[in-house]
Amino acid sequence: MTGQDRIWLEVALNGGWGRERQPLIPVRVDDLISEGISCARAGAAIVHFHAYDDNGVPSDDPGIYAAVIEGIRSEVDAIVYPTIAFEGDDRYVFVEALARQGLLEWASLDTGSLNLSRFSDIASGKIGSIYINDERGMKRGLDLATEFGFHPSFACYEPGFIRLGAALQAVHREVPQPIYRLMFSNGMSFGFPPKRYALDAYRTLLQSEVPGAPVMIAGLDVDVSELMADAVDAGIHIRVGLEDAPLFNRNTNVQLVEAAAAKIQRPTATAAEVRLALRSRPAG
């Protein structure tokens, strides 16, 4: 297996859960940097994170994002990228600020809207939330990606997210190659559970819509380990971490990365190999 054919391993360090629902997530800048470095040394070429302020509240401050990105990159070669704002008129304000500083190689882009409802909350009568992404915002993200040369990571919560993402990619022909990140869940009601039939359905759709595009398995409130062997056999990449893991998880990010690397059973791609693989694909 050549370097370009190796499986990419990404770690999502925290998400927006807060420590009340995911107690082991890092939120302080120093902790995010330390865990990002440790995860990269354990085999994760890609590090994704959400910023928090000094009070442990999710933050859109580009200065916090910049400090974490620069802190991790000062010690290891890794692709380090942020989320987008959960809501607001312009979800990409801090993404643009980071791009203008030359700090972005990837950025998140969600190609659809959905209900975020946990099964346990439904059973207790608690109302979930609606995660809204309109096409105007998607176009804003794709325009920034084209201008500054970063790769969009499309979070695909439902099959329609793939179809819309592919259609948008087709008309934004100069955008750097997106990554199609398949979002599974055990604990939430969106999309598919992490089952082989679901992966097969997604693979069939992807082959029809965007043949050859880089694909990754991930999710929210989920354990994707049972899909890893099938994903690796199909050349599909892996994301783990405390953003994605079942809530109240007892494993650290490093432990999750180490477990995934062991399941992959072969050397994972370096950040340089991920970059080279993406450059070898035509844009748009």
CA dist 196 and 228 (Å) reads: 10
Sign of the torsion formed by the C-alpha atoms of 159, 230, 226 and 264? negative
Kindly state whether residue 145 falls inside one of the protein's structural domains. Answer: yes
Question: pLDDT by residue (tens digit) across 230-239?
Answer: 999 999 999 9
Into how many domains does the chain fold? 1
Kindly state whether residue 182 falls inside one of the protein's structural domains. Answer: yes
CA 245 from chain centre, in angstroms, equals 13
Kindly state whether residue 284 falls inside one of the protein's structural domains. Answer: no
Under-70 pLDDT residues of the chain: 1-4, 281-284
Supply the pLDDT for residue 4. Answer: 59
Supply the pLDDT for residue 280. Answer: 77
Supply the pLDDT for residue 3. Answer: 52
CA dist 249 and 5 (Å) reads: 31
Kindly state whether residue 122 falls inside one of the protein's structural domains. Answer: yes
The residue to which tokens 């890609």 are assigned: 46
Supply the pLDDT for residue 125. Answer: 94
Q: What is the CATH number of the domain that holds 32?
A: 3.20.20.70
| Domain encompassing residue 170 | 3-279
pTM, rounded to two decimals: 0.96
Kindly state whether residue 225 falls inside one of the protein's structural domains. Answer: yes
CA dist 174 and 194 (Å) reads: 33
| Three-state SS annotation for the chain | CCHHHCCCEEEECCCCCCCCCCCCCCCCHHHHHHHHHHHHHCCCCEEEECCECCCCCECCCHHHHHHHHHHHHCCCCCEEEECCCCCCCCCCHHHHHHHHCCCCCEEEEECCCEEECEHHHHHHCCCCEEECCCHHHHHHHHHHHHHHCCEEEEEECCHHHHHHHHHHHHHCCCCCCCEEEEEECCCECCCCCCCHHHHHHHHHHHHHHCCCCCEEEEECCCCCHHHHHHHHHCCCEEEECCCCCCCCCCCCHHHHHHHHHHHHCCCCCCHHHHHHHHHCCCCC
Supply the pLDDT for residue 187. Answer: 96
